Amino acid sequence: MPIPIYAPPKARHYDVVIVGGAAVGSSVAYWLGLEAQGRLSVLVVERDSTYEFSSTALSTSAIRQQYSNPINVKISQFGIEVIRGFKERMAPYFPGEAAPDLGFKEHGYLYCTSPEGVDAARERVEMQQSHGAHTVWLEPDALLKQFPWLNVEDLGGGSWGSQAEGWFDSMGLLMGFRRGARAMGVEYIDNRVTALDVAGGKVTSVTLETGEVVSCGTLVNAAGPRAQQVAAMAGLSIPVAPFKRYSFVFSSATPIPGRMPNVIDLSGTFVRPEGPLFLTGNTPGDDGPADYDDFGPRHEEFEDAIWPALYHRIPCFDALKVQSAWTGHYEMNTLDHNGIVGFHPEVTNFMFANGFSGHGLQQSPATGRGVMELIVHGGFRTLDLTPFAYERVPANRPFLEEAVI
Ligand SMILES: Cc1cc2nc3c(=O)[nH]c(=O)nc-3n(C[C@H](O)[C@H](O)[C@H](O)COP(=O)(O)OP(=O)(O)OC[C@H]3O[C@@H](n4cnc5c(N)ncnc54)[C@H](O)[C@@H]3O)c2cc1C
């Protein structure tokens, strides 16, 4: 009887393997599923399908058009289109059930501006308007008329997005994209990518925590704040790190009448309604790269920095009580606070979808679609996302976004 020769199991092959299945990874998966209609095999590897520590789950989930770069305005406009039409878009994947409608609260954003910042702010408003945004510039008197609860004494004015800005349900977006992708044949597995094999300038396979090896045609890095860990597995580097952000939900003894927007104070503190309560956060005093697993709170941030700023800007916020708080990670691109989207020039099937620096949720629809276009068509077909290409990183050529919160 012949002795059987041991043959190692053949690695499963997928045309595209996506590392990370939260908002960005699942958006990529959704658009790939939609465009390829079964002609591509796609695998999403997600290390924690509860998404407990993902940026997507811990996000404050707002969308605005008030950016300093026209391309970011256009990306958000597509985000708005997707958010507004999400229920209809998702209906085919929720037969007999209600599809998520994301509960979009279209309350707008109000950016407070110092007297010194007026010229630059007005220029930004004009730029945004020229791209179809509904941003308007309000002088202090007009601000006070519109928002009588606002202290305008030290303001030169403010820019207000009267439409197409607000906040929505981040997990609804993620779960909708995920459900749609799966319905169109994309596979999801609960596992962690621990290593990548690179040969001949390409990622040839990914190794999973369970030891399984999966070969791939294209590798998409959608690992959020852990993007650099995944890049390093291919011997690559991007300036993306987890930065802690503390969010606080509080009640106020005095309610704010009318339709309160997301107010961005001069101090960088933001505040907006959250049902009958309010949600706030800031750029914290301990800002900087954090440990990947450090989600520890910083309660004094509210007492020391946030409340004084809130009370100054909105004097009726004199009796507040924190109801809950959580810590999340921004996936901060320390080069220029903008996303990195596109293939690596040397490891040519390694795709970045990283570094969105606190605005990745609203950018996930356009990013997913753009990444799909690069993979399927070899170039952008709708929005030209080339300003976000990786090449600017080694060239140290920042594509700076000034309007970062
Ligand atoms: C407090 C806070 C407020 C924010 N506010 C806003 C806002 O108002 N508007 C906005 O647009 N954006 C906001 N953001 C940013 C936004 O949430 C993120 O940009 C966006 O969610 C990023 O999505 P992602 O899918 O890239 O990352 P994540 O949601 O972090 O997902 C990455 C996924 O990759 C998985 N993963 C990582 N490594 C591996 C691996 N080796 N193997 C397998 N899986 C892996 C993780 O488990 C995770 O699920 C905020 C973020 C925070 C923290």
* 293-341 per-position pLDDT tens digit: 999 999 999 999 999 999 999 999 999 999 999 999 999 999 999 999 9
Distance 171 CA to ligand 1 centre (A): 11
**Which two structure tokens, joined as six digits, stand for 221?**
């890095």
Torsion sign over Cα 208, 196, 20, 42:
negative
* The pLDDT of residue 405: 74
Confirm if 209 and 19 have CB atoms less than 8 A apart: no
Question: Of 44, 55, 220, 364, which is best to mutate to test ligand 1, by the most ligand atoms within 8 angstroms of its C-beta?
Answer: 55
Ligand 1 probe mutation, 44, 54, 76, 230, most atoms within 8 A of CB: 54
Contact call for residues 157 and 137 (beta carbons, < 8 A): yes
What pLDDT shows up at residue 3? 66
Encoded tokens for 386? 């080339």
Q: What percent of the chain has a predicted confidence (pLDDT) above 70?
A: 98
In the beta sheet, which residues pair with residue 105?
A: 167
Burial of 298 (0-12, 13-18, 19+ CB in 10 A): middle
- Say how many Å lie between the CA of residue 57 and the centre of ligand 1: 7
Q: Out of 45, 56, 329, give the residue to mutate to test ligand 1, the one with the largest number of ligand atoms within 8 Å of its CB.
A: 56
Give the mean model confidence (pLDDT) for residues 88-104.
95
Q: Cβ of 52: how many Cβ atoms within 10 Å?
A: 9
pLDDT in tens, 335-387: 999 999 999 999 999 999 999 999 999 999 999 999 999 999 999 999 999 99
Question: At 34, is the pLDDT very low, low, confident or very high (cuts 50, 70, 90)?
Answer: very high
List Cβ neighbours of 98 (8 Å cut-off, separation of 6 or more). 87
As a whole number of angstroms, the distance between CA 374 and CA 114 comes to: 41
pLDDT for residue 4: 64
Q: Give the closest residue to 323 by CA, choosing from 249, 253, 246.
A: 249
CA of 274 to the centre of ligand 1 (A): 21
Domains within the chain, CATH numbers bracketed:
12-98+169-239+335-392 (3.50.50.60), 109-165+241-329 (3.30.9.10)
pLDDT over threshold 70, residue 66? yes
Q: Quick one: pLDDT at residue 11?
A: 78
Report the candidate in 100, 77, 96, 80 with the shortest Cα–Cα distance to residue 88: 100
Q: Distance of CA 222 to CAs 55, 56, 218, 228, Å? A: 11, 12, 13, 10
Q: How many residues does the chain have?
A: 405
**SS3 for 76?**
helix
Rounded to whole angstroms, the Cα distance separating 355 from 347 reads 19
Contact 162, 65 (CB under 8 A): no
Digit-coded pLDDT (tens) for 368-381: 999 999 999 999 99
Q: What is the DSSP string of 60-126?
A: --EE----SSHHHHHHHHHHHHHHHTHHHHHGGGSTTSPPP-TT-B---EEEEE-GGGHHHHHHHHH
Q: Whose CA is nearest to atom 26 of ligand 1?
A: 224
The pLDDT value given to residue 373? 98
- The answer to whether residues 108 and 160 touch, using CB atoms and an 8 Å cutoff, is yes
- State which ligand 1 atom lies nearest to the alpha carbon of 58: 53
Contacts of 202 (CB under 8 A, 6+ apart): 347, 348, 349, 350
- pLDDT tens, position by position, 120-131: 999 999 999 999
C-alpha 133, offset from chain centre: 20
pLDDT at 402: 80
pLDDT: is 100 or 30 the higher one? 30
The rounded mean pLDDT for the chain is 96
Q: Is the pLDDT of residue 208 over 70?
A: yes
Closest CA to 128 of 383, 332, 403, 398: 403
From the CA of 360, give the closest atom in ligand 1: 19
The CA distance from 230 to 216, in Å, is 15
End-to-end CA distance of the chain: 72
Q: Ligand 1: residues whose CB is within 6 Å?
A: 19-20, 22-25, 45-48, 51, 54-56, 58-62, 192-193, 222-226, 230, 245, 247, 328-331, 356, 358-362
Q: 224 C-alpha to center of ligand 1: Å?
A: 5
Beta strands 202-208 and 270-274 are unpaired
Q: Which atom of ligand 1 is nearest to the CA of 331?
A: 19
Position 10, amino acid: K
Q: For residues 405 and 357, give the distance between their C-alpha atoms in angstroms, rounded to a whole number.
A: 9
275 pLDDT tier (thresholds 50, 70, 90): very high
Mean local confidence (pLDDT), 196-218: 98
Cα(35) to ligand 1 centroid in Å equals 24
Distance 149 CA to ligand 1 centre (A): 34
Long-range contacts for 375-379 (Cβ within 8 Å, ≥24 apart)? 375/16, 375/32, 375/40, 375/218, 375/220, 375/351, 376/32, 376/35, 376/36, 376/40
Q: Ligand 1 centre and the CA of 331: distance in Å?
A: 7
Give the number of the atom of ligand 1 that is nearest the alpha carbon of residue 327.
1
Per-residue confidence (pLDDT) for residue 8, from 0 to 100:
59
Is the separation of the CB atoms in 271 and 316 below 8 Å? no
Residue nearest to atom 19 of ligand 1 (CA): 360
Contacts of 85 by beta carbon, 8 Å cutoff, 6+ apart: none
Q: How far is the CA of 403 from the centre of ligand 1 (A)?
A: 19
Residue nearest ligand 1's atom 22 by CA = 360
Residue 381 Cα to ligand 1 middle (Å):
26
The protein residue with its alpha carbon nearest to ligand 1, atom 15, reads 358
